């Protein structure tokens, strides 16, 4: 077990990580009370960063990582769209090849029919009847000719239809290529935005001394603790008594096994994850495919009242649905927070909740 995971389990109640928490609510999860942040004393150097300044840093970091999360969702959406468009192009290419093969076959048949007609000569039917030694045989042959003419018309009609289909497939393929190229540009732009925001955050943190980083971490814990406490004090857990479904249980088990693994934007495991990469893979492991991004999970999955929430459900955070976590019971979540962090257990109310969705509704 890595040091990040050991610290995680120490900070959170171990029971929320156990499978038994999935079926029956127990003690409500709350982050441990933060250690009081040291204040700048009169004897501190004049260059020391005050708690107020550190709080400003904390808020600035929060904004930078939030912007990175939004861009990550855009990157993931572009990647998912590119995969679908590539698959559609491949399918269209197969249809074009198949259509071309059928068209070549029909042209061969049409050529054979034209040759047969040429060999029969150009005399009108009346003349052929008069010159025939066996009028009945001629009439029988005429019936066969009429059948052949109808078959030829059908052959030509099919050729025309296939040619039209090929033109349509070509147009569709061209349109998909244009979308794919636009998606690549959107993906590249999102990647630049992600890297820019993360770099700015890292540079901001790098300017802090070790003692200041420790105080900043305490401020982050304190902010999370206050938010979680306020959420629990609302009495919300008194109404949340749902038990995990079989698929929900499996999804939570998967997410629990990823504890301590690093966050990496755009990652879907198995060694690193971003927030929606974790939730989508957890539910995939339970046999339920869901959208790749937190925004699409919010748009497409069934929405559930918080009071009806059960382990395995996904909590969507922020007004722009830029973050997602998995509810595991007792007021706790498992999520991949942000760059520089690992998959961890946290209080469900530590971030602004937009709503809850259920993959196996």
Q: What local confidence, expressed as pLDDT, does residue 16 receive?
A: 32
pLDDT of residue 299: 94
Q: Of 298, 305, 301, 297, which Cα lies nearest the Cα of 240? A: 305
The mean per-residue pLDDT over the stretch 9-35 comes to: 40
User: Which of 66, 292, 323, 338 is the catalytic position?
Assistant: 323
pLDDT(37) > 70:
no
Q: What is the pLDDT of residue 29?
A: 61
Write down the pLDDT at residue 347.
94
Say what percent of the chain tops pLDDT 90.
Answer: 33
State yes or no: is 335 an active-site residue: yes
Annotation says 66 is catalytic: no
Compute the distance between CA of residue 240 and CA of residue 233 in angstroms, rounded to an integer. 14
**Is pLDDT above 90 for 163?**
no
Strand partners, 12: none
Q: What does the CA dihedral 284, 290, 292, 297 come to, rounded to 10 degrees? A: -140
Residues 349, 330: Cα–Cα separation, whole Å: 11
Whether residue 57 has pLDDT greater than 50: yes
pLDDT at 114: 62
Options 250, 335, 338, 358, the catalytic residue: 335
- Reading the block at residue 135, the tokens are 């009028």
pLDDT band of residue 174 (cuts 50, 70, 90) is: confident
Low-confidence winner among 13-17, 24-28, 34-38, 276-280 (lowest mean pLDDT) = 13-17
pLDDT higher for 128 or 173?
A: 173
Q: Which two three-digit tokens encode residue 262?
A: 């690093």
Q: What pTM value is reported for the model?
A: 0.63
Q: What is the pLDDT of residue 157?
A: 79
Asked whether the CA dihedral 181, 184, 188, 193 is positive or negative, the reply is: positive
The one catalytic residue among 162, 237, 275, 345 = 275
Residue 30's pLDDT band, with cuts at 50, 70 and 90, is: low
* More confident call, 302 vs 46: 302
Model pLDDT for residues 202-249, shown as the tens digit of each residue: 888 888 888 888 888 888 889 999 999 999 998 888 888 888 999 999
Q: Whose structure tokens read 């998912």?
A: 80
Q: What is the pLDDT of residues 274-289, one digit of tens each?
A: 999 999 999 999 999 9
Give pLDDT, residue 292.
Answer: 93
On the question of pLDDT at 135 being above 70, the answer is no
């Amino acid at each position: 077990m890595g040091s990040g995971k050991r610290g995680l389990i120490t900070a959170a109640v171990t029971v929320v990580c156990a499978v038994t928490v999935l079926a029956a609510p127990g003690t409500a999860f709350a982050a441990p009370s933060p250690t009081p942040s040291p204040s700048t004393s009169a004897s501190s150097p004049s260059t020391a960063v005050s708690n107020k300044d550190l709080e400003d840093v904390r808020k600035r970091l929060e904004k930078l990582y939030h912007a990175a999360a939004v861009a990550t969702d855009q990157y993931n959406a572009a990647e998912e769209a590119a995969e679908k468009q590539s698959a559609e192009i491949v399918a269209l290419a197969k249809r074009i090849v198949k259509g071309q093969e059928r068209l070549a076959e029909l042209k061969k048949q049409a050529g054979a029919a034209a040759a047969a007609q040429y060999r029969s000569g150009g005399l009108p039917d009346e003349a052929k009847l008069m010159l025939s030694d066996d009028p009945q045989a001629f009439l029988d042959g005429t019936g066969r000719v009429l059948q052949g003419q109808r078959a030829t018309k059908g052959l030509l009609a099919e050729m025309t239809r296939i040619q039209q289909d090929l033109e349509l497939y070509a147009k569709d393929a061209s349109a998909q290529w244009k979308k794919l190229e636009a998606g690549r540009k959107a993906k590249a732009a999102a990647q630049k935005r992600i890297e820019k925001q993360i770099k700015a955050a890292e540079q901001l943190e790098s300017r802090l001394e070790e003692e200041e980083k420790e105080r900043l971490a305490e401020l982050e814990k304190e902010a999370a603790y206050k938010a979680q406490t306020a959420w629990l004090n609302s009495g919300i857990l008194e109404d949340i008594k749902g038990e995990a479904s079989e698929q929900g249980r499996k999804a939570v088990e998967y997410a629990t096994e990823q504890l301590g693994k690093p966050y990496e934007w755009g990652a879907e495991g198995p060694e690193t994850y971003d927030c929606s990469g974790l939730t989508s893979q957890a539910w995939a492991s339970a046999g339920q495919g869901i959208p790749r991004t937190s925004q699409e999970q919010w748009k497409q999955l069934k929405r559930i009242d918080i009071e009806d929430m059960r382990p395995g459900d996904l909590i969507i955070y922020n007004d722009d649905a830029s973050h997602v976590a998995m509810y595991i019971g007792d007021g706790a979540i498992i999520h991949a927070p942000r760059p520089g962090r690992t998959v961890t257990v946290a209080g469900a109310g530590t971030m602004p909740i937009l709503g809850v969705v259920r993959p196996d509704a």
